[in-house]
Structure 1
């Protein structure tokens, strides 16, 4: 992730956000829609409602699992 971010002059977080947006659609009109998120703000109540849906289960991996942390730590790219 670091090497990809560096190649684009972005942070790892920015690369992940781009990945999430871009993988949802390859159609330009859908990508434009996905990027159109800066003209509104969620209320405190909406943030809490969405947070309440969190199952605390990762879709990718459990970053709290010691075995997974060790696995990821061994694959660090500088």
Structure 2
């Protein structure tokens, strides 16, 4: 039983080592940074498009009230 556990640990270590080497070889930090950057850049335009679409289905005042409520929860000190 002990040798089986040892084999599992060795296989797990080898797997993690291969994952880390592949991450480094494929410039994982650079790719993850680029993904985070472009995600942040796209949040504002996508939010605007979503609000434009929602104004066709929900009353504008109700939408503004709901958005203000959520902004109060997300942004400390935000008051409408």
Q: Which has the larger radius of gyration?
A: 2
- Length-normalised TM-score, structure 2: 0.28
Richer in helix (by share)? 2
Which has the higher relative contact order, 1 or 2, with Cα contacts under 8 A spaced 6 or more apart? 1
- Length-normalised TM-score, structure 1: 0.28
